Amino acid sequence: MCQVLLCNAYNVVAAHCAAEYLEMHETIEKGNLIYKVDVFLNSSIFRSWKDSIIVLQTTKSLLPLSEELKLINHCIDAIASKASVDVSKVDWSYTYNRKKLPEENGNDHSWNGVRSRMVPNDWWVEDLCELEIEFYKRVIIAIKTEGIISNEVIGEALKAYAYRKLPGSSKGVVQYNDFSQLRPILDTILYLLPAEKGSVSCSFLLKLLKAAISLNSGEMVKEGLVKRIGQQLEAASVNDLLIRTREGEPTMYDVQIVQKILEEFMMQDRNAKTEIGNENEIQEIRSLGILSEASKLMVAKLIDGYLGEIAKEPSLPLSVFIGIAETVSSFSRPAHDGLYRAIDMYLKVHPEISKSERKRICRLFDCKKLSADACMHAVQNERLPLRVVVQVLFFEQVRAAALSGSSTPDLPKAIKDLNCASYGSSRSATTNADEDWDAVASAAELRALRGDVAALRVGNGVVHERNSGDNKSYSDKAAISKMKGLITSKKIFSKIWSSKSGQAAENSGSDSSESLGSANLDEATSTTTRRGRLSVS
């Protein structure tokens, strides 16, 4: 007969089931085996964190009897109660998966029996990763029911379990042959996720979304993740948003699902403005939109970086790129360098786009919001239309004048005369000049622009036109001649500097619809705080 003294965590469940099968109850003989096993379980096994987990694992091979005897429930309750103990009272060797500390091995002779290190709040997380998914689900539910462990710790536990059970999920790509075995694990993790915003990181949610796409999960699963990610999109990184498509898709990254996430974020912002709080102070803050300004700025920068990555895809349609950029165009941000870099990358990878498409994509960024380094790059960028280069040159000079404290630079006389002259060019000539403005600038034309048309020199409060010299190459002279021919048309120049009322709403960060061509230059540039965007049309 089996003796209780020979029982341990690995065989006690089998002993209990055997005794039950043999009906070794107290009614047959006092102190029978079932009684002794129960005493052993309650006095030893269920008081030990490690043994409780081991016993729970052994119950699987003895189903359904182990379930009928409530051994599984007892193990789960024991584990949940120990996981919920205040960390200051955790005095056992709280995990058997990590490497033991010197004092726990008895090798530290200075140890006085008092734990020298603080027990972390998630001390139990790694040990539970050993459990099968069904047992894990029941244990986490029991821990939640205790109501002591925070949602953040629950989220960390689910993250650790996902990384352990879903191969490659930590990198966002699940690698496994039999997806049917992994889908239940993913579905259970999603079911156990705390509902509170911020309880799990946005990065982890995006990794779960990537896993759901890899495992070809249902639309309901992906939609639920998209909604949760959209609620905390400002915490994501560009790498998190690079979600690969399944094999056979025309593009490398799933841009559509990122658009859905962005739409969820925008929806959240709109809902925040319509919510009614319980306190007047909260109502006032929400009406002013102060609570979401920081997150808007973070999302705008995030999308700028994301556009810079997906712009490298040769098969990415221009309409998709512009659609994503225009979604956050209403988010005011101090600099457009990130957006400019993304646009430049798209132009570099897609040199075949037409003049009108090039003109359309360049409308996305504001010349006045480029840094000095970005301006320096733009004025030498042969991928940009000439009109954009002219604008960058002019506003860089306006900014330089403001920083130097000198008087606001005025337009050269040849250009100023255009503002009072009548339209003299024919329609066909105007059309041809318009096409030249929309064309990309050659290296010689860029030198001509910088040297003779737009590179205004600010010195002692007076603007001088640069002497072109006589030692220019033939190509430079031809470019200068072309540029002078372009600026002789008042109609073309007015189109460069004017801001159409219909385009003001399209341009990101637009706060003013004033036209530089119609407004006095001194008035338009007298303050650096004016953030009106001029059209590049």
Which of 82-96, 147-161, 306-320, 479-493 is predicted with the least confidence, judged by mean pLDDT?
479-493
First vs last C-alpha separation in the chain: 94
Query: CB-based contacts of 308: which residues, under 8 Å, 6+ apart?
Result: 238, 338, 341, 342, 345
Tokens describing residue 468:
């072109």
Residue 499: pLDDT above 60?
no
Tokens describing residue 92:
């056992």
Q: Which of 322, 339, 446, 448 is nearest to 388 (CA)?
A: 446
Q: What's the angle, vertex CA 360, arms to CA 355 and CA 361, rounded to 5?
A: 105
Per DSSP, 459 falls in state E
Whole-angstrom Cα distance, residue 224 to residue 232?
Answer: 13
Per DSSP, 462 falls in state E
* Structure-token match 């000439």, residue found: 386
**In this predicted structure, what is the pLDDT of residue 170?**
66
CA–CA distances in Å: residue 234 to residues 61, 286, 299 = 46, 18, 5
Q: Which of 306, 373, 366, 377 is nearest to 342 (CA)?
A: 306
* Structure-token match 């024991």, residue found: 78
What mean pLDDT is predicted for residues 134-157? 96
List 385's β-bridge partners, or say none. Answer: 440
**In this predicted structure, what is the pLDDT of residue 120?**
86
Whole-angstrom Cα distance, residue 223 to residue 383?
Answer: 39
Around 144, how many Cα atoms within 13 Å sit in the side-chain half-sphere?
17
Whole-angstrom Cα distance, residue 381 to residue 391?
Answer: 13
Residue 150: pLDDT above 50?
yes
| SS3 label, residue 220 | helix
What mean pLDDT is predicted for residues 2-16? 79
Print the SS3 string covering 472-523: CCHHHHHHHHHHHHHHCCHHHHHHHHCCCHHHHCCCCCCCCCCCCCCCCHHH
DSSP secondary structure of 235-281: G--HHHH-PBPPTT-SSSB-HHHHHHHHHHHHHHHHHHHH---SSHH
Whole-angstrom Cα distance, residue 197 to residue 53?
Answer: 31
Tokens describing residue 89:
């009272």
Q: How confident is the model at residue 172 (pLDDT cuts 50, 70, 90)?
A: low
What mean pLDDT is predicted for residues 453-468? 41
Q: How confident is the model at residue 446 (pLDDT cuts 50, 70, 90)?
A: low
Instruction: Kindly report, residue by residue over 263-296, the tens digit of the pLDDT.
Output: 999 887 665 554 444 555 544 444 444 336 888 9
List 464's β-bridge partners, or say none. Answer: 457
Whole-angstrom Cα distance, residue 300 to residue 365?
Answer: 12
What mean pLDDT is predicted for residues 450-456? 46
CA–CA distances in Å: residue 46 to residues 36, 53, 130 = 14, 9, 18
Whole-angstrom Cα distance, residue 368 to residue 364?
Answer: 12
**In this predicted structure, what is the pLDDT of residue 401?**
75
Instruction: Kindly report, residue by residue over 365-405, the tens digit of the pLDDT.
Output: 998 899 989 998 998 898 998 888 888 888 877 777 777 76
DSSP secondary structure of 350-414: -TT--HHHHHHHHTTS-GGG--HHHHHHHTT-TTSBHHHHHHHHHHHHHHHHHHHT-PPPPPPHH
Q: What's the angle, vertex CA 459, arms to CA 458 and CA 464, rounded to 5?
A: 65
* pLDDT mean across residues, the chain: 75
List 458's β-bridge partners, or say none. Answer: 463
* Structure-token match 């912002």, residue found: 269
Tokens describing residue 486:
């372009």
Instruction: Kindly report, residue by residue over 18-61, the tens digit of the pLDDT.
Output: 999 888 887 777 778 899 999 999 999 999 999 999 999 999 99
Element (H, E) at 53: helix 49-58
Q: Which of 199, 191, 189 is nearest to 151 (CA)?
A: 199
More confident residue, 344 or 435: 344
* Structure-token match 């004033």, residue found: 514
CA–CA distances in Å: residue 502 to residues 147, 150, 198, 330, 409 = 56, 51, 40, 15, 28
